[in-house]
Structure 1
């Protein structure tokens, strides 16, 4: 049986997935769909197909059908290793979009400001997707397609998906109008960088290199007050030729402020190098899996 901590962590993960998916849903339904911003992915395909069918089939219905088909393919060709988190995220997105179409039908964009709507159509799904990617989940769609391609072909997945998104965005010029097309291109450019930026900020930590003579008080503060660890090794000053100690440690931004203040008060002669980092793998941070 699973212990309480494992169950608690799973509940926490699924709550985070729900939050991430809801951000994507709000951005897609209230801002992307009404403005026909086809910025790639399953939702982009749905916008184009819905228009080609003269809106007789809603975008939400197409997203639901496409995601279910892709999930079936994933289970058949990839198996259970595909991941329950992605299944949950994919179904929650699809069902939520369909329910919103029933509960809050939209006939037109919320405002008369297309740039403002584009901002929310890009940033909300990007933040939501970043939250999902950060814990190993996604909303399915083209991510499922990427997994299938990775297993059965030698195609560069990132490039293939980028090319697909690009052609879907270009299609808006022919299916809709020039304004929608140019705004979709702009949205694709924002989207391509925003997710990575959000993920980096979610995981941002501070990496300290501390050069000092007496490391004991600093290490005691790090271990006892901040509940972190550190590595200490010997060094020698090139100018003074004096023996020094170098302390390496990593911590959150809030903890970094406390450590910097402590060192300033207790060892003002210490030399500090503080670097931003978002890829920390090890105990107390991320696991290797």
Structure 2
């Protein structure tokens, strides 16, 4: 069990570092030279960097610090710590490794925005697979939803990124900045979705196990979601068993896999991609017709 946990920890750390490096390359080498701000904390940092010539990584961390403090008090200590560590790693890679030693792309801005979005999307997907996020809009979206729970996180993210894209026109004095930023954001989102469950925002997981309560306890404690336990009987063996039903977001699935592997290596797991989920922690039922 200890070896399994150690192996999982090493794998997660390696995935996080790989994602942070790829994310940093896309941001510094492709997006920064094109003078576009594709949403999120890094978009704000890119605009301030353009105005002040300060390093992008340090500015990104400065933008995230107040959000992380709010996340500590109003969301989850675990989420704030994990996201904070990721922010520090990404910011350090941007300023200390990528900026001094990697070449900057100086070609067509359309190519820069498109491939920048693809590269950043790959990096963010790996970070999600490691069970973390890059902060920024994600934190702001969750915080705003605490205040206005009837509005979905997706809509909050659209509003936040829309404000950042609109502001980039004023900062860069170029309407193309917003249009190219939108292309970058679209490419980034599509790549993340393609890597994580082929465009599904969430997934439904059915776990046939002899240890349902242990799995559910860890789901509640570590992912901060709930689950449903259904009693069943094996058709072939005739033995009593249990089925745990849980729905999680794409960035939370790697944590659920670790929980299941640690609790019951012999569990039978079925994963179904879900395009829409309504209910507590996801979208409201009123949004089904919007």
Q: Could you say whether these structures have the same fold, taking a TM-score greater than 0.5 normalized by the shorter chain as the test?
A: yes
Q: Find 2:161's aligned residue among 140, 161, 165.
A: 165
Which residue in the other structure is 1:265 paired with? Answer: none
Which residue in the other structure is 1:13 paired with? Answer: 12
C-alpha distance after superposition, 1:25-83 (max 9, x if no partner)? 110011111212211000111122333xx324333221121223322222233342326
CA contact (8 A) 2:24 2:94 kept: yes
1:144 aligns with 2:147: no
Instruction: Give distance in 1, aligned partners of 2:23 and 2:112.
Output: 14
TM-score, scaled to structure 1: 0.62
Task: Within 5 Å, give how 1:78-157 maps onto structure 2.
Answer: 78-82=75-79, 84-100=81-97, 103-104=100-101, 109-154=104-149, 155-157=151-153
Q: Mark the runs of 5 or more structure 2 residues left unpaired by the alignment.
A: 201-233, 237-252, 261-266, 273-290
Q: Mark the runs of 5 or more structure 1 residues left unpaired by the alignment.
A: 204-230, 234-277
Aligned length: 211
CA contact (8 A) 1:14 1:85 kept: no
Task: Within 5 Å, give how 1:40-55 maps onto structure 2.
Answer: 40-51=39-50, 54-55=51-52
Q: Find 1:69's aligned residue among 63, 66, 71.
A: 66
Instruction: Give distance in 2, aligned partners of 1:84 and 1:41.
Output: 19
CA contact (8 A) 1:60 1:94 kept: yes
Which residue in the other structure is 2:34 paired with? Answer: 35
Instruction: Give distance in 2, aligned partners of 1:6 and 1:184.
Output: 40
**Aligned CA-pair RMSD:** 3.3
Instruction: Give distance in 2, aligned partners of 1:120 and 1:65.
Output: 26
Pairwise CA distance, 1:131: 1.9
Q: 1:105 to 1:82 in 2, by over 3 A?
A: same
Instruction: Give distance in 2, aligned partners of 1:112 and 1:142.
Output: 29
Q: 1:150 to 1:179 in 2, by over 3 A?
A: closer
Q: Larger radius of gyration, structure 1 or 2?
A: 1
Instruction: Give distance in 2, aligned partners of 1:121 and 1:49.
Output: 19
CA contact (8 A) 2:121 2:187 kept: no
CA contact (8 A) 1:40 1:165 kept: yes
Moved over 6 A (4+): none
Pairwise CA distance, 1:87: 2.9
Instruction: State the secondary structure of the residue aligned to 1:65.
Output: helix
Instruction: Give distance in 1, aligned partners of 2:35 and 2:270.
Output: 38
Which residue in the other structure is 1:58 paired with? Answer: 55
CA contact (8 A) 1:50 1:57 kept: yes
C-alpha distance after superposition, 1:155-180 (max 9, x if no partner)? 32110111211221122222221333
Q: 1:63 to 1:151 in 2, by over 3 A?
A: same
Pairwise CA distance, 1:201: 4.9
CA contact (8 A) 1:45 1:168 kept: yes
